[in-house]
Amino acid sequence: MDAEQHQRKPFLSSMDRPVSDKTEKPRGAKDQFQMWTPIILHPLVLIAFAILFAIFLAVTEVLYQYSNKHQGLSTSDQKYHYLWTYAPTAVFLIVAGFWGQVEYRSKQLAPWHSMNQRARPASQSLLLDYITPWNVISMFRSMKNKHWAVGLSVLGSLLITLLTVFSTGLFMLDSVRLQKIPTTLKASAQFNSGGYDSKMVDGVPALSVAGAGRFNLSYPTGTTDKYAFSPFNASNTDLGTNTVITGKVDLFSAQLECEQGKLVNWTTYDITADGTGGPGFIQPSSDLTLSSPSCSTNPFQASLFAIPSQNSTSADVFFENCTGNGQTGSRIIFVSARLWTAGPKYAISDMYPVFCKPTYTISKGLVSLFASNQSVARLLPLANETSRSNAIPGIGSSEIIASLNSSLVGAEKPVSLFPTGNTSISHLGTLYRLANMSSPFDAESLFEPSSFQNISIGAYQSIVAQIARQHFMTPADSQFTGTYSATKQRLMVRELSVRAMEAILAALILVVAVMLVCRPVRSTPRDPGPLSGLAAILSRSSHLTDRLDGTPNKKNMKARLTGGLYVGEVINQNGEKAFRIEAKYQGNNDSQPADTDVTISWWHSISRWWQIVSILLPILIIAGLEAAYQESHRHDGLGNITSDGYIQYVWVYIPALVMLLVRIFTNGIHSSSMILQPYLELKRGAATASSIMENHLSKITLYSFCCALFKKQFVLAASALSVIIAPILTIAVSGLYSTQDATVPRPVSIMASDSFNQHGGPAYGDETGSPLIGSLIVARNMSYPAWTHGELITPILREDTLTDLDGDIPYQPSNKTSDDSALLDLTIPALRVNANCTALPREKISLKQFPAGGSSKWELQMHLGPDCRAYSGTTMTVQSDNPNATQTVFGQFTDYIAFFGDCPPMAVLYGTLTPNNSTSGVHGFTCKPYVNQVEANATFAYPGLQIQSMTVDESTMKPFPGFTVPGFTSSMPNITNSAGNNAFDSFFSIMMSNQATLNTSDIVNPDAMPSVINATQHLYRVLVAQYLNVDARTAPTASIPYNGTLSDPTRVRLVQSEISTRILEGCLAAMTICSLIAVFGTRTRKILPINPCSIAGATTLLAGSDILKSDIFPPGSEWYNDKEMTRRGILNGLIFGLGWWDRKRYGIDIGKPAETLCDG
């Protein structure tokens, strides 16, 4: 007995331990004797929760309404995916952490609150435990017991958890067509005559109309068929390729003031041939005199009829001055006529002249452009805006007439090669040929007044609009406000998530409101959670502790408490308030029943299967995540998504629920560790007062983790860390899956409808219009025709033969409603010309003529060697506007050398010329072009098969025999750049000004010949490619499929995020390690015989111990919190233990237990 008594003594003697003054009154006595309310259950805190939930509800609805009104919250990008998926989840997880304390305090205080209201049986008070069961079970039990605060707090936790799950699907990224969004636009040109020079007006404006009308090429930037306008673009370069920008800009519109004229006089010509040519070789002309009410002309020569040997119809335009009395100015005269032949004479039977005075207006209009290529999507003149006639200073009717005439002259040569397509019309001037290309007409239309005027005015407006854009504008850099419409990735708010979250938040507000009424507060004098607090309260409840002293197991504990009613009450004891738990028994029979079973049983805080699942479940999820990610990575997604309905919520919510399941098991492990921690400290022995003052259940997890680390409670710290990591699962899983427009390569094949003709092409001349197309491409940056790209042409592919090789079936796009194009990658044959140029020695170049005696030109002669018997084309004439300049920089190209023998068909001379007879600054080279066939890696847009890019495999180049490369110099339009001291022909003008592949330093530097040859070859290749596109094709000799891959971006794929996967895997792995430490590092066997989370269970461990004696807890101690106890020295210097004590009692007491009895 003495030994046992010794073991129960503290290691510090009573003399060494500070002794509290039992007569000392508590400081602030009035406050000290107030029943305890945890801060988390204070009305202001709960009201703050309600306000927070109301704010969340309002913000959610505002976000949803804003999203609906503005087609999303903002324009976002997939790279910001994690910001808007993680943020809402993280916010609600923080709220969930604080609400967890509301739940704990409600569960903890419910038995006390039940006893505080009235006497309750043990099952409704002392034996009540809401902490250890799963909270869903606790919720239903509490509802059954009418402990509403517990049920509501658990319901709140479940609702917040559900809220967190729904928040993972609150936002989504979706493609939305935005309309009329304000933006800043920048005009790149403005109407101004500062750049106008009549000498620089060439055939390009007229030929641009031909390109649009004949070859369906787009109009140049800043023009339509009727208008020229200030071109503009978006200052925001990140608007996307499908963006349409709209701005209010100046519109130039050419107009005519017309009146009907008449034929006054004409002269006839005898068409009988006086030689060998015959009448078919005579170009008849006539001197015409025309007049209108406001203008009369002098006789002027007009060539109207090409072949007068038959009756014919013609139309042309003339530019004449008015010469009548009092008449001034010039007129544009549109003329249609019929010619009848009678023997050697011909007569004009019908003539329809229309006199027009050109004008123009500048007005405002709304222009919509595709941002990707500046082509016009829509043009709307604004009727309510003021129009200004002839508003460009220096540009009047005479400038328009001169410019129109120059452009028609410059375009005459290439345009004359196109047949009219109507044998009843024998002659059309250039303007009417252009009109016929855009909208073919018959002969009768030329003599119906309104029809003829519409034809004439339409062609006039189109050409002058091109002139205005090219010559009546100067560069500008001015900003103005406009709008844009674009398909953007917008951050959308999902309605289902919104409605679910709003319902949950409304329910949470109601939960808080009810909890304000039924809070389980003011039921205890202090926090009963720590063992120190419970011991202080029980120190005044000797009847209860005596009844439970020595209870060996749960069965006996229940038996001892059966039949009693228990109440917590405040009493006056020796003039001071005291709190105790009083028992009342029926008939005042408080005799303790005999224990039927004295065998001690051990309580397990958590089941073995729970521990196994807690460890294996994360491992299985990690394996599943990695397998799914590898599948997603290999196939650009886990599968195709074909529906925009509620199926999208499956991959949003199910992963979140799985991670929620992991959190439930992890929380169970941690709860077990927190419950056991103070008892493990006591079991190890020599525990100080701080051990029994500790209650991790009442702490936020992060704070609990820090405390555990500070106190070197590493097992508890590990379980706390797993709980801290757990919310990251819910956050990260919200970004695990997303839908993306995935580019999925699919093997396909396609057939060609033609092959390359090895025997095509005339040696000279061309009537296909290919020189015109090529010139427009390089001079006006017009788009490439189909099946050509840069220097190359490809076979014509049949879109209907595109076959999916995986199923050997016709290809079908995954998303037929998508506007996005798939990309078809093929390796196909292509043709390309090789210029094959060689430097021409300087001694082979001589000067036949130089400026003298009023002449303004040089004539250069090329000597091509004895094997070349050229009879024309070996001389080049350089015309200069300033022949007396010290130096004239020039460049001339020809591919019209007529020859027999071994002559180069193409030659280039360039360099500098002086007024004397020197050729020292002249350089040249000759070329013998031939066609090569190469293999090209081509990318086509599907549908439509427009070429997006082509690259040549130079190792596959081989000659394409039998094909003669044509000459086209004679049919090229007049594109000049001969101002000042420059004298460049059309070919060099394009290289110098339009393509910018050469500059003046290249021309004057003799060492720069490789650069000149490369630039010449590139331009020549582009021009010849258009000829090959027309004349180098024939029917296929065999059906040869071309295999390739089609990357289909219209597929919407469910993609697993690598970042989220790695985060989840890392977190799950860390949680698994933490769970292993918690499971295997915590001793759970033979620690506690009874669950300590009920009042009776914890009392059983304290009953009969010296801790409950009045010399340990003096009167009034039950009103002190742990801080006050420490200040007063209560428990200071004592050590505590858990184990076997005297009388074979197992529990907590002061001193060191008899450990030898632990296993007995």
The string of pLDDT tens digits covering residues 478-487 is 999 999 888 7
Q: What pTM was computed for the model?
A: 0.65
pLDDT of residue 567: 92
pLDDT tens digits along 878-911: 887 777 777 889 999 998 887 667 788 899 999 9
Alpha helical stretches, state H, 961-1039 = 986-989, 1000-1004, 1009-1031
Burial code (b: 16+ CB inside 10 Å, e: under 16) for 377-386 equals eebebeeeee
pLDDT of residue 853: 62
Q: What is the DSSP letter of 24?
A: P
Which residues have a Cβ under 8 Å from the Cβ of 511 and sit 6 or more positions away?
Answer: 152, 153, 155, 156, 159
DSSP labels for 397-432?
HHHHHHHHHHHHHHHHHHHTTS--S-TT--EE-HHH
| Whole-angstrom distance, CA of residue 734 vs CA of residue 728 | 10
Angle at 727 between CA 725 and CA 729, to 5 degrees: 80
Give me the residues paired with residue 892 across strands.
Answer: 909
DSSP labels for 896-922?
--EEEES--SEEEEEEEE-SSS--TTE
The C-alpha torsion from 1103 through 1109 and 1110 to 1111, rounded to 10°, is -150
Residues of the chain with pLDDT under 50: 1-29, 272-282, 306, 308-309, 762-766, 815-818, 1156-1160
Tokens in use for 48? 């703050």
Q: Are 365 and 247 in contact (CB under 8 A)?
A: no
Length of the chain in residues, anyone?
Answer: 1160
Beta pairing, strands 286-292 & 295-296: antiparallel
pLDDT of residue 18: 37
With 0-12 / 13-18 / 19 or more C-beta atoms within 10 angstroms meaning exposed / middle / buried, residue 841 is: exposed
Terminal Cα-to-Cα distance of the chain (whole angstroms): 18
